[in-house]
Chains A and B, each alone.
Chain A
Amino acid sequence: MTRWVLAVLVASCTALASADSDDLLRRTGNLLDKHAITTGQFIQTATVAALNAPLISGGVFYFDRDQGVSWHVDRPISARFIFRPTATDTRVASAPTMPMAWIGQMLNAVLAGDFTQLIRQFSIDGSVSTEHWALSLTPKSAAFGRAIAKIEIEGAAAVSRIKVFEANGDDVSIAFSVIEYPDSLPADVEREFEQAH
Chain B
Amino acid sequence: MSSNKRISSSEFAWFAGVGIVLALAAYKWDGSKSLDADFLALLPQTQHAPLVTAAANRLASATQDRMVWLLGSESAPIAAEHATHLSQMLRDSGLFGPIHGEVATAAVSPYAKLFPYRFQLVRSDTLNALQTAPQSIIDSALANALGPFAVYQTQQLASDPLGLFPHYLAGLAPQGIDLFDGRTPMIHHGGFHYALLVTTAANGAFDLNRAEELLALMGRVRSWAAAQGVVLLATGIPLFAASNAERAQFELSTVGSGSMLGVILLFVITFRSLRPFLLATVAISTGLLVAVTVSIWLFERVHLLTFVFGATLIGVSDDYALHYLCDAFRGPNWSARDATRRVLPGLALGLMTTLAAYASLGIAPFPALRQISVFCGAGLLGAWLTVLLLLPSHTVALRSTPTLMRAGLWYTRRFPIVTDRWVFFGAAMACSSLAALFYWAEPSDDVRLLQSKTPQLTQESAEIASLISTQRDSQYLIVEGDGVESTLAAENALRTVLDRLVQERKLHAYSAISSAYPSRDEQAEHYRLLKTKLYDTGLIRTFFDTLHTRQNVSAEHLAEFDKANDRVVSLDDWLGLVGEPWSQLWLGCTDGRCASLVTLNGYSNLDSNDIAVLSTLRGVTVVDRVGEISAMMAKYRVIAGQLLAGAYIFAALMLCLRYGVRRGIRVLVVPIGAALITVATLVASGFALNLFTVCALLLVVGMAFDDAIFFALHGRTSGPTALAVLLSATTTLISFGLLSLSSTPVLRDFGITLALGVASAYLLAPIAAAVSSNEASHDPASTA
Residues of A within 8 A of B (CB): 44, 46, 48-53, 55, 57, 71, 73, 76-77, 79, 81, 86-89, 92, 94-103, 106-107, 117, 120-121, 141, 143-144, 147-148, 164, 166, 168, 170, 172, 174
Q: B170 near A95 (CB under 8 angstroms)?
A: no
Q: Which of A53, A88, A96, A107 contacts B148 (CB 8 A)?
A: A107
26 of the cross-chain contacts (CB-CB < 8 Å) are A49-B550, A53-B548, A55-B146, A73-B143, A76-B546, A77-B142, A77-B546, A79-B140, A79-B143, A79-B146, A87-B178, A88-B76, A88-B180, A92-B140, A94-B139, A97-B167, A99-B178, A100-B152, A101-B180, A103-B148, A103-B151, A120-B77, A120-B181, A141-B182, A144-B182, A164-B149
Closest 8 CB pairs of A and B: A79-B143, A95-B140, A57-B146, A88-B180, A89-B178, A50-B553, A52-B548, A95-B143
The reply to whether the CB of B340 lies closer than 8 angstroms to some CB of chain A is no
Minimum CB distance partner of B108 in chain A = A143
**Residues of A with C-beta under 8 A to B471:** none
B139 smallest CB distance to A (angstroms): 7
Minimum CB distance partner of A57 in chain B = B146
- Which of A86, A103, A172 has the most CB atoms of chain B within a 10 A radius of its CB? A86
Q: A77 near B148 (CB under 8 angstroms)?
A: no
**Residues of B with C-beta under 8 A to A96:** 125-126, 140, 144, 163, 167, 170
- Which of A51, A73, A106 has the most CB atoms of chain B within a 10 A radius of its CB? A51
A80 smallest CB distance to B (angstroms): 8
Q: B148 near A51 (CB under 8 angstroms)?
A: no
Minimum CB distance partner of A52 in chain B = B548
B133-176 Cβ-contact flags toward A at 8 Å (1 or 0): 00000011111111111111011011000010011011000000
The reply to whether the CB of B188 lies closer than 8 angstroms to some CB of chain A is yes
The reply to whether the CB of B303 lies closer than 8 angstroms to some CB of chain A is no
**Residues of B with C-beta under 8 A to A52:** 548-550
Q: A170 near B155 (CB under 8 angstroms)?
A: yes
CA of A138 to CA of B149 in the docked complex: distance in angstroms? Answer: 16
Please judge, given known A-B contacts A48-B154, A50-B553, A97-B167, whether A88 and B147 are in contact too, CB under 8 Å. Answer: no
A188 smallest CB distance to B (angstroms): 18
The reply to whether the CB of B118 lies closer than 8 angstroms to some CB of chain A is no
Q: B548 near A88 (CB under 8 angstroms)?
A: no
The reply to whether the CB of B75 lies closer than 8 angstroms to some CB of chain A is yes
Q: A50 near B549 (CB under 8 angstroms)?
A: yes
Q: B181 near A97 (CB under 8 angstroms)?
A: no
**Residues of A with C-beta under 8 A to B143:** 73, 77, 79, 81, 92, 94-95
**Residues of B with C-beta under 8 A to A51:** 154, 157, 547-550
The reply to whether the CB of B179 lies closer than 8 angstroms to some CB of chain A is yes
Q: Which of A76, A77, A92, A166 contacts B151 (CB 8 A)?
A: A166
Q: B151 near A100 (CB under 8 angstroms)?
A: yes
Q: B144 near A168 (CB under 8 angstroms)?
A: no
Please judge, given known A-B contacts A46-B154, A50-B158, whether A99 and B149 are in contact too, CB under 8 Å. Answer: no
Please judge, given known A-B contacts A50-B549, A52-B549, whether A170 and B154 are in contact too, CB under 8 Å. Answer: yes
CA of A50 to CA of B157 in the docked complex: distance in angstroms? Answer: 7
CA of A156 to CA of B576 in the docked complex: distance in angstroms? Answer: 53
CA of A166 to CA of B151 in the docked complex: distance in angstroms? Answer: 8
**Residues of B with C-beta under 8 A to A89:** 178
Q: A99 near B548 (CB under 8 angstroms)?
A: no
B49-85 Cβ-contact flags toward A at 8 Å (1 or 0): 0000000000000000000000000011100010000
**Residues of A with C-beta under 8 A to B76:** 86-88
Q: A81 near B148 (CB under 8 angstroms)?
A: yes
- Which of B147, B183, B550 has the most CB atoms of chain A within a 10 A radius of its CB? B147
Q: B154 near A77 (CB under 8 angstroms)?
A: no
Q: A99 near B547 (CB under 8 angstroms)?
A: no
The reply to whether the CB of B595 lies closer than 8 angstroms to some CB of chain A is no
B557 smallest CB distance to A (angstroms): 10
Minimum CB distance partner of A103 in chain B = B149
CA of A81 to CA of B149 in the docked complex: distance in angstroms? Answer: 12
CA of A75 to CA of B101 in the docked complex: distance in angstroms? Answer: 40
**Residues of B with C-beta under 8 A to A94:** 139-140, 143
CA of A107 to CA of B180 in the docked complex: distance in angstroms? Answer: 16
- Which of A77, A147, A168 has the most CB atoms of chain B within a 10 A radius of its CB? A77
The reply to whether the CB of B370 lies closer than 8 angstroms to some CB of chain A is no
Q: Which of B150, B163, B180, B546 contacts A46 (CB 8 A)?
A: B150
B28-57 Cβ-contact flags toward A at 8 Å (1 or 0): 000000000000000000000000000000
CA of A175 to CA of B214 in the docked complex: distance in angstroms? Answer: 55
The reply to whether the CB of B666 lies closer than 8 angstroms to some CB of chain A is no
The reply to whether the CB of B716 lies closer than 8 angstroms to some CB of chain A is no
A139 smallest CB distance to B (angstroms): 10
Q: A88 near B179 (CB under 8 angstroms)?
A: yes
CA of A51 to CA of B464 in the docked complex: distance in angstroms? Answer: 48
A65 smallest CB distance to B (angstroms): 14
